[in-house]
Amino acid sequence: MDFKEYLVSKKVEDISTLDADKQAELYNEYNEASKKEIETLVAEKASSEEVEALRKKFDESLSTQYEALKALKQITTTQGTFMKNLDRGTSSSKVNALKSQLVENVEAFKKLKGSSNSNDNVKMTLKAVGDMSVAGNAAGVPLEDRVSGINEIKEREASLLNLVTVGSIGSNLKTWIYEANQEGVAGPTLEGALKNQIDFELLKGSADVEKITAFITITDEMLDDVQEIQTLINNKLTVKVMNALEDGLYNGTGVSPQLTGIETVAPVFAAGSHAGTVDNANEVDVLQVAANQIKLAKHGRATGIAMHRRAVTSLLLSKVSSTDKRYIERLQMIAGTLSFDGVPIIESILVTEGEFLMGNFKMASLDYREGLKIEVGYNADNFVKNYKTIRAEVRAVVYVMQNDRGAFVTGVFATAKAALETP
């Protein structure tokens, strides 16, 4: 058989795609097989024509092999020369570039051997040598030194929620019975005289459970690829919903879906008998009269004073008088909490600057129908767009029963000071 038939028997379609060692091995095997075939014909006393035909075919194969091996030798010799020079450190920058190209294109050179197709030509481009700089590199080189976590936007701390009485509710409506319109008094009575009569009405008060919600829509890819994003979203939704709940607890209008806030139902500051009697009236004087107003309403001692941070600063800067520059000693810092005559002052930017809310906050109730919950689901066409919607919500009711509302006083410092100031 000729060499092409031999390659087919070895299941080799194109010998030029093989490395040099494998090509030599196939050539040697074919030559050995052809030699044995000629010897066999001679031994069997075949005709001279048969022997000559086989010998001629063998010679043609040797000629083809010679040309192929010569081309392969030329390629490997050229590569070897460059490699040798490179290893000795004698090459120039262009040789360095060429070395890289030769290594990268070694398989292409093998394919080129014996090929007459111009598409198999090997093309190499040598990069010009130049200065190196960070700006000349691709983005991300050098690697970033990333601070772990995500720098979050600061949110208000919901400090008022811990002051009130917290409970639960098993319905969507909270009701209670309270006394109203009391008349008559008890007193001494003469023998045989008509006794003292009193009466009152029993009325029903109520407050609706309201729902506070927030949601974030995000792609599956962002959830999967951005580290800590799930935790950040959960924290963000939690803070936003609880701050909205505190908003309602403090100053909700009571018109659904608004909660009924403490400030909304609290009595307004009244100077009473102290009106126009205080020289150089300041914030401390206002708080003293407000505390007295609560006691006169038979609600005893306040448990907290909610004020804006700037109002607290003004309070700390208050002096005894315009001529006596000593700081007022009725303010104390205990365990990191500022207090007025022992009543804690709660700083909150929720409170409008210049206003205050003083009271026995245990008289206000916050009952949860459903505590805060966070759920993940699909909304509209989320599913087909690889989005997810993460929602947070809480259902609750806030109420101060009618006869407990006197435990609070709300007011504006400027207005209250003007009411106390002597003419």
- On whether both 238 and 380 belong to a single domain, the answer is yes
Does 182 map to a domain?
A: no
- On whether both 222 and 115 belong to a single domain, the answer is no
179-223: pLDDT as tens digits: 999 999 999 999 999 999 999 999 999 999 999 999 999 999 999
Does 413 map to a domain?
A: yes
> Would you give the distance in Å from CA 366 to the centre of its chain?
30
- On whether both 164 and 219 belong to a single domain, the answer is yes
Per DSSP, 284 falls in state: H
- On whether both 106 and 215 belong to a single domain, the answer is no
Q: 173-183 and 199-208: which strand pairing? A: antiparallel
| Tally of domains within the chain | 2
Burial of 400 (0-12, 13-18, 19+ CB in 10 A): buried
Measure the CA–CA gap between 33 and 23, rounded to whole angstroms: 16
105-133: pLDDT as tens digits: 777 766 666 666 666 666 666 666 677 77
- On whether both 372 and 269 belong to a single domain, the answer is yes
- On whether both 362 and 218 belong to a single domain, the answer is yes
Question: What per-residue confidence (pLDDT) applies to 377?
Answer: 94
For residue 357, the cross-strand partners are 306, 410
Q: What CATH number corresponds to the domain at position 245?
A: 3.30.2400.10
Mean pLDDT computed over 139-164: 86
* 3-state SS class at 394: strand
Measure the CA–CA gap between 2 and 61, rounded to whole angstroms: 7
- On whether both 287 and 387 belong to a single domain, the answer is yes
Measure the CA–CA gap between 120 and 96, rounded to whole angstroms: 24
Measure the CA–CA gap between 279 and 275, rounded to whole angstroms: 11
Amino acid, single-letter form, for residue 70: K
pTM above threshold 0.85: no
CA atoms 318, 324, 326, 331: torsion sign: negative
Structural domain including 78 reads 3-120
